[in-house]
Structure 1
């Protein structure tokens, strides 16, 4: 495509993935990130189905495979730690409840940054403050840097996207709360888990832990059902208090996991919400990843749709040969039907993550036990597996200017 100047806001996963593909098609790419350095912490994530296809086409499959966290499986346990039902990661074509490609978010960020370090400009510690889409391009003001002009601007800045607010106005997109809140934190492996995950539920709340970093640590998590409430996402002290109160009185190993909140190096808390937008672009300003179509962690496809979205957005811009607006429209037309299916799937997944009643917990245990014991147990996960592989990746290789 004709060389275009692209600005990407957000240096998490979707942003650097988009920068990689844009640079591969010949674009001049700048990535701006509000954090002062790469965010290398974060929870364990997985890459499913066609998301692995994007990683393979990028030539990063070997690096991801080397950095992934080994996860042999998952067990649902009772209050005494007895495993009641389990599922292994080596079944279901690698796209079951535990996938074959589980990786710490920070490790994937490092891989994507390494892949784009020589082909994209990174500006840390700054953010976009104003956008003006004119005939000659998008004029961008920054909080710290001098104003610049770009041919296309893409917000890859997450669920609470600043670019989305600037492009569509505050409240221009709808955040749909799914009735759940989710928290992650790193803890010492006091449970003695080895390449495994254990999950314990009581009505309306679930706590669990997965062994990471060579089984030396745990990625602990708490999910609870709740109506929406106000909170400051930057006030980690207050949010840790919320987590403690919501987990109070839970059995199993809840107390020892919650006790490690105070000293954790990375802490995450947010509502499980989805982003619903009538359009993913306005003129030459677009959104990708959670900023455009967050399906919530309950969907299990957040990283996958971020990677696929970045791949398709860059590819359609390349196909449009300089007509940015046409490329952004084609990106949405091609991708939206599959994204809509992923979001619908996420809307129902909370019932499995955190059942409301003892009967719901027992039902989940029975379903997982059937998956493990029946020869055709995979049929119970058929819809999820089809969804993970339900988007055919277009071939954009004819537009490449560089190869990895």
Structure 2
């Protein structure tokens, strides 16, 4: 005989905890709510994160935001960068190009928006429909036959049917479930620093990048001549174990000292950029790498976005993979009543797309940051050729996945329609 509690458990909406409220998290929450799931999102920050370096939404991901109804808002926020100017080590101009020629994007279709603009647009699609918990995170979890018992950092305890880690490349959820990041991290040989600086050069909707072997410095104007600039310093570091890199670079003062030593003697405006870094209160510092997991799930816990498959900024596809991956995971959960089948379908249908975009690094994705004089000269020659032949072909990896239609109906337990 089936008990009343068993019957209630079978017919109640499945409960899902999503860790992370940046890009993949709100996107997943939107689609799961639409499919009839009861969704909670936990975010360690105090509020939705604004600001940040401009990010791209390309190819298949454009269709995701269109189906979510936020495409018009994002088009209004489109940065519309007019040109990229590349300088040599002596500060002399190498080439000036349209951004689409460099990125392989489709002018008039793909988007570049402030990270805060995209985060805000996604947040507003779910803020009234899901349980949003800020200033907290997952501290511990126990999986069992009927769900996942979660203990939060703040001390609360709750049980969910499923948990999804959407909390970034350095996912705390992934660490709790599977252990240290090092086992999944592929270091790409670069360290970078991003921060804002005053616009003393009067730049407007353009990027200017200086390069020397193994070092790059860029100033990015996403607004007019009166708006602050995004400064970007990216430099090559020999491959070494990730834990050594992290241990040596946790201290902000150590980070700034490393950058200052690395760029000593650099030309152009680099000394002023480094000096401004010392005054910046929004410095973001990290290593460039990818997350490559043999499986994107473990029991009742799955991962999405950078937590599952960070491609690195060198591909320009992190945001797009997060949006597409969240859509595909939600669709699979709505299609299959059994979470194991759903997670398997999500991975089966999405992994090739992810692999193609991660491989952009191996196919020249890092070519803007040469590490030797010879490679720098080859890169400069390539840029000059692009000036002579401005017509470009969109990058096939960006649209390699044809987005399937949304699932026909929401699901609850055991495949029952909600």
* Same-fold status (TM-score > 0.5): yes
Q: Which residue of 1 aligns with 2:372?
A: 357
Q: Distance in 1 between matches of 2:94 and 2:33?
A: 49
Q: Which residue of 2 aligns with 1:222?
A: 233
Q: Which residue of 2 aligns with 1:11?
A: 21
The correspondence for 1:247, drawn from 232, 243, 263, is 263
Query: Secondary structure in 2 aligned to 1:222?
Result: strand
Distance 1:269 1:314, change over 3 A: same
The correspondence for 1:346, drawn from 361, 374, 388, is 361
Contact 2:368-2:379 at 8 Å conserved across structures: no
Contact 1:272-1:296 at 8 Å conserved across structures: yes
The correspondence for 2:392, drawn from 375, 378, 385, is 378
Where structure 1 has 5 or more consecutive residues not aligned to the other structure, the ranges are none
| 1:11-160 matches, cutoff 5 A | 11-79=21-89, 81-89=91-99, 95=105, 100-160=110-170
- Give the greater-gyration-radius structure (CA): 2
Q: Which residue of 2 aligns with 1:207?
A: 217
In the TM superposition, what is the alpha-carbon distance from 1:350 to its structure 2 partner? 5.7
Deviations 1:2-28 (A, max 9, x none): 722110111111111111111121111
Contact 1:89-1:98 at 8 Å conserved across structures: no
Contact 1:298-1:347 at 8 Å conserved across structures: no
The TM-score with structure 2 as length reference comes to 0.88
Q: Distance in 2 between matches of 1:304 and 1:22?
A: 19
Distance 1:326 1:65, change over 3 A: same
Where structure 2 has 5 or more consecutive residues not aligned to the other structure, the ranges are 1-10, 412-418
Deviations 1:106-149 (A, max 9, x none): 22111111111111211111111111111111111111142111
RMSD, matched Cα: 2.4
In the TM superposition, what is the alpha-carbon distance from 1:171 to its structure 2 partner? 4.9
Moved over 6 A (4+): 96-99
Q: Distance in 2 between matches of 1:386 and 1:7?
A: 34
Q: Which segment is superposed worse, 358-367 or 274-283?
A: 358-367
Distance 1:92 1:347, change over 3 A: closer
Q: Distance in 1 between matches of 2:182 and 2:409?
A: 34
Q: Which residue of 2 aligns with 1:274?
A: 290
Q: Answer yes or no: is 1:196 the counterpart of 2:211.
A: no
Deviations 1:172-205 (A, max 9, x none): 8421111111221111112221111111110111
Q: Distance in 2 between matches of 1:50 and 1:164?
A: 26
The TM-score with structure 1 as length reference comes to 0.91
Distance 1:5 1:172, change over 3 A: farther
Q: Which segment is superposed worse, 152-161 or 208-217?
A: 208-217
Contact 1:73-1:98 at 8 Å conserved across structures: no
Contact 1:152-1:284 at 8 Å conserved across structures: yes
Q: Which residue of 1 aligns with 2:303?
A: 287
Q: Distance in 2 between matches of 1:350 and 1:81?
A: 23
Q: Distance in 1 between matches of 2:218 and 2:106?
A: 18
Distance 1:254 1:91, change over 3 A: closer
Paired residues, number: 395
In the TM superposition, what is the alpha-carbon distance from 1:91 to its structure 2 partner? 5.7
